[in-house]
A = this chain, B = another copy of it.
Amino acid sequence: MEELNKKILLVEDDPNFGTVLKDYLMMNDYDVVHAKNGMEGFEKFKKDDFDLCILDVMMPYKDGFTLAKEIREKNKDVPIVFLTAKAMKEDVLKGYKVGADDYLNKPFDSEVLLMKIKAIMQRKATETISDSKQFEFKIGSFDLNSKLRFLRYKGGEPVKLSPKENELLRLLALHENDLMPRQLALTKIWRDDNYFTSRSMDVYIAKLRKYLKLDEKVEILNIHGEGFRLVVNN
């Protein structure tokens, strides 16, 4: 049972409200990471890939706008929604300047928030990903197309990859000849790190090795206790 829920970063200093909102979102099948202030929010943002950020504007130390700016520096695309208690015009305008996708005045209806989240996600999904470079890799005599999820050997018939196979091989390719730490794959792909996910990953390594056998110059080496290494000899 594979769950690929959308991940939301919620930064809200009011613990009550924050917890309630978090629970509500999680009840609606979102993975939510809750940060209690701007600093923490930015730390958590850097550590993970989020599909959406919900930021409270009024927070001590680092307000939502400042945080948004920092987030924008790291990621120009992630949607940002602001929450604010007062409907100050200047705030709204400031928010849009920073690249907000939407704006909600507290108190707001939770269903409306859900709807907006959905709308925003759909919008993002619509924006066609044209930079194919990120998704194409040469691995020895193989071509990996990570968007279309296939692996082709010397221009022959492409083999279809499952989502997990694909992401794992992509991650290995991104670290070609270098160590790809277990942890990394587990957190990025499996979003969890326990005995079973780890074993699951080993199973996928075995599958990938089978595919890659066609080119004896390509292999996946294990670095005991550390992770794996995709090497291309020549």
Contact = CB atoms under 8 A, between A and B. Distances in A.
Interface of A: 4, 89, 92-93, 96, 109, 111-112, 115-116, 118-119, 122-123, 125-128, 147-149, 162-163, 175, 178-179, 181, 183-184, 187-188, 193, 223-226, 229
A111 B93 contact: yes
Count chain B CB atoms within 10 A of each CB in A92, A126, A224, A226 and give the residue with the most: A126
B163 A125 contact: no
Contacts of A178: 147-148
Contacts of A112: 89, 92-93
Q: What 6 pairs across the A-B complex have the smallest Cβ distances?
A: A125-B183, A122-B187, A96-B115, A89-B109, A92-B112, A96-B119
Contacts of A149: 223, 226
B148 A193 contact: no
Number of copies: 2
Contact of A109 (B92, B125, B181, B193): B92
A163 B193 contact: no
21 contacts: A4-B225, A92-B109, A92-B112, A92-B115, A93-B112, A96-B116, A96-B119, A122-B183, A122-B187, A122-B193, A125-B181, A125-B184, A125-B187, A126-B183, A126-B184, A126-B187, A126-B188, A147-B179, A149-B223, A162-B224, A163-B225
Given A123-B123, A148-B179, A183-B122, A163 B224 contact: yes
B229 A148 contact: yes
Contacts of A187: 122, 125-126
Given A96-B119, A119-B96, A163-B224, A111 B125 contact: no
Nearest to A188: B126
Contacts of A148: 178-179, 223, 229
A23 to B, nearest CB: 20
A116 B89 CA distance: 12
A207 to B, nearest CB: 15
A224 B160 CA distance: 10
A118 B148 CA distance: 33
A178 B109 CA distance: 39
Contacts of A163: 224-225
A215 B188 CA distance: 42
